[in-house]
Amino acid sequence: MQVASSKKSKMADTEMANGAGSHVAIDEDLHSRQLAVYGRESMTRMAASSILISGLSGLGVEVAKNAILAGVKSITLHDTRATTLRDLGSQFYLHPEDVGQNRAEACREAVQELNTSVPVSTATGPLDEDLLAQHQVVVLVDAPLREALRVDAFCHARDIAFVRAGVRGVFASVFCDFGRGFTVLDTDGEDPHSGIVASVTPGPVTLVSAVEDERLEFEEGEYVVFSEVVGMDELNALPPVKVLRCRAHEMELELDSSGFKAYERGGIVVQHKMSKTLDFDTLEQSLQSPGEFLMSDFSKLDRSAQLHAGFRALDAFEAAQGRLPALGSASDAAELVRLARELVPSSAEGGPEFELDVAVVEALARTAQASLSPMAAMLGGVVGQEVVKAATRKFHPLHQWFYFDCMECLPEEPVSEAEAARATKEAGRYADQQAVFGAALQRRLQELNVFVVGAGALGCELLKNLALMGVAVDEAGLVTVTDDDTIERSNLSRQFLFRDWDIGSAKSAVAAAAATVINRSLKIRALQNRVSPDSEAVFDDAFWRRCDVVLNALDNVPARLYVDARCVYYGRPLLESGTLGPKVNTQAVVPRMTENYGASRDPPEKQAPMCTLHSFPHNISHCLTYARSEFEGQLERT
């Protein structure tokens, strides 16, 4: 076993015997946004967790990137494979001069630059038990089944969280095993619901009414606690009470209050977040009895079961042949279908009640060897979140299988085995993409004119993917990115194209330069103009007509609406996306086919009437809104 270590961590910690830190100093300037989402306790637990990532393909480096930016204790990058030119199609920290070098060693320094407070080491030998035992979370990427079964059995017996993930063309799979008795401290991460008590009706089932202008948001089965109740003060001392039913302004509680004192006035009721304990099966057990799958697309209700069969057949094929099915191979696809039918018994034999979808399994076989950067980016985000959940015990983890596919992206006529073979020999870093989608699409990508609006967290991810895909690498192509903001320290934990020495520089310029490091053939232009009516001399008619597609990476609704209006006017496709804490939205707008972004609006935020604010304020938001109103009035008068 060869292990190389990076510089010592700057994060002070005192370890207990179980590996959790009793004290960890959190860099609040760097992780201010994460602290708001995860909380200090969760960040402290994460900063005491060591992560092992085995397999530094495109998916593996995405997981490493997300984990180190989150602020874990340490990361070990493990790989036994050497870099090939095809790796450059999805692995953004590998370059042509790295071909022949070990993938983990070739990208370690770049991963380390993302967060110098998290030591990064490499391992290039077999995964032995001594190495596994040093970590709290182990992630295997594209690992053969036999190796995954061995590692999972070891981790399960020692309460080490285990994740197996793989990208196979336009298909993806994730399996999680966090052991027996894994406790989730907060299943959704949301702020607790609360309400103002207006009355309490005692009885075998207690009826609690709230003030009329406050809608109760509790759900059946949740637990609540009381405070500041006058009269029926027994409520204030009760442990959490279960909600039986909840309506707009009243709820029934599983509480016999017949002997309580009479309610007089006041009181606040707040949701009590209950922990949840989960038992995970081992990989070996779960392969046979997978339970419920996490759905990714409700228009494909049986797709997860189909892909479970397909991926099991893929494992069997790899074990028998020592390789994955060849790209575009009809004979290998037929063999995978045969294996899938053998592994999945019919419903008459007690198997799942579905017929094997041959088209799905054949598509899996034809594309399984390909590592596509958009798929790696998407699944890397999913797996990165599972790593964070295992380390922090916040948010409900994946329990236990997740499958994803985008078969609808495949060409109607599959790429032939001969064309796929030519792509792997001649297309270089774009070989996998061309072997899946064909040479015509690859040529079209290379000639595109793309407008990226915003170079923050989403903008960095978009530019990285465009560079990996070979967008705008021909003379006819161009990526234009604009952002009028400069880099701050708090950006560095999310906007991975930026480094400490970039603070104060223009985001668009630094992001464009970093994208050309990923792909030196990328044609990119960086601007610092805000897209608005004031900049129509820059983004004029000729500019919009040259754009083939617009990618929004904005952080405010007015700017999104303006760009959307421009795209509607000029008939340009728009890919819209945004994030809010752990939530995300995305929308593809195709002219004359889909509705545009501005066609629908979010409901207005709840606002209290001014008469309530001035005469009967009864919660903190009322007081703050009243103060803001008074301040604005004073400002106008002066």
Which three-class secondary structure state does DSSP give residue 156?
A: helix
Q: In whole angstroms, what is the distance from residue 252 CA to residue 235 CA?
A: 14
> What stretches of 370-446 adopt beta strand conformation (E)?
401-405
CB distance 292 to 301 below 8 Å: no
Strand partners, 478: 449
> What stretches of 346-495 adopt beta strand conformation (E)?
401-405, 449-453, 478-482
Catalytic positions, written as ranges? 611
Which three-class secondary structure state does DSSP give residue 513?
A: helix
How many Cα neighbours within 13 Å face the side chain of 177? 27
CB distance 562 to 532 below 8 Å: yes
End-to-end CA distance of the chain: 73
Query: How far is Cα of residue 379 from the mean position of the Cα atoms in its chain?
Result: 7
On the question of a cis peptide bond just before residue 321, with omega within 30 degrees of 0, the verdict is: no
- Of the candidates 416, 452, 450, 387, the one whose C-alpha atom is nearest the C-alpha of residue 160 is 387
H-only helix segments in 438-587: 439-446, 457-469, 507-518, 541-546, 557-570
* Residues in the chain, overall count: 638
Q: Is 469 exposed, middle or buried (0-12, 13-18, 19+ CB in 10 A)?
A: buried
Query: How far is Cα of residue 187 from the mean position of the Cα atoms in its chain?
Result: 16
Which three-class secondary structure state does DSSP give residue 422?
A: helix
SS3 breakdown of the chain: % helix, strand, coil, rounded to 5? 40, 20, 40
Rg of the chain's alpha carbons, rounded to an integer? 27
How many CB atoms within 10 Å of residue 341? 15
Which three-class secondary structure state does DSSP give residue 467?
A: helix
Could you say which DSSP state residue 634 is in? H
CA distances from 510 to 369, 501, 625 (A): 34, 11, 40
Q: In whole angstroms, what is the distance from residue 180 CA to residue 48 CA?
A: 21
Q: Write b or e for each residue in 60-92: b if 16 or more Cβ atoms lie within 10 A of its Cβ, otherwise e.
A: bbbbbbbbbbbbbbbbbbbbeeebbbbbbbbbb
Strand partners, 521: none
Give the type of residue at 575.
L
- Residue with structure tokens 């004192």? 261
